[in-house]
Amino acid sequence: MDALIETSRKVRARPTRAQAEEAVRTLLAWTGDDPDREGLVGTPDRVVRAYEEFFEGYQDDPVALLERTFEETGNYNEMVVLRDIRLESHCEHHIIPLIGKAHVAYLPDRRVVGISKLARLVDVFAHRLQIQEKLTAQIADTIQSVLQPRGVAVVIDAAHQCMTTRGVHKPGVSMVTSRLLGEFETSESLRRQFFAMAGIGGV
């Protein structure tokens, strides 16, 4: 877990905002256009602001998000599923959006977490440069490590625009990844229940 967070936090000396804007100007010139023409003079500032939004997950602590839990659950110990969480991330290879849905489930062990926190957790990791496998693993492993439930299941179904708008040009393809921990790993019936509750095709 520590390694997981450390990896995400290990940041080189951050360039200044002016340096970031200059880098965008360079890319604009690389396209063959003129960065000084009226329509483009404000673009470096806009792009840097957009990057602040796309990658705000580097500023957030995923563990802190899950630390507030509730123990008065009326002995509820069945599966909790948050399904169809809209997911917007960027692939780390091309910095192009990958957009889809995450389904997150856990089997509580006495404590439950405020349900919005699961969606916030997805956002923290999605708002970093990602590959889908790592995104899926980070979400599941953080829930397992902080809440210590009896099991965690995460499925992500996302379309990668680096495969649709460039490169191989295959629209309509989506990538599905999953991480199943604890009782979800050992019990096929739980997995089936999860897939049914999340409304996704089971195995």
Residues lying near Zn ion in the complex (CB under 5 A): 91, 93-94, 162
156 binds ligand GTP (CB under 6 A): no
Q: Is residue 127 annotated as part of the catalytic site, yes or no?
A: no
CB of 128 to ligand GTP, least distance (A): 12
179 and 141 Cβ atoms separated by less than 8 Å: yes
Q: Which stretch binds ligand GTP (CB under 6 A): 32-40, 59-67, 149-157, 162-170?
A: 162-170
Rounded CA-CA distance 198/82 in Å is 8
Helix (H) or strand (E) holding 103: strand 97-107
Residues 6+ apart with CB under 8 A from 73: 108, 110, 111, 112
Residues 21, 88, 162, 185: which is the catalytic one? Answer: 162
Q: Is the dihedral of CA 102, 1, 97, 173 positive or negative?
A: negative
91 binds ligand GTP (CB under 6 A): yes
- Write out the catalytic residue numbers: 91-94, 132, 160, 162
List contacts with ligand GTP (CB under 6 A).
91, 93, 131-133, 160, 162-163, 167-168
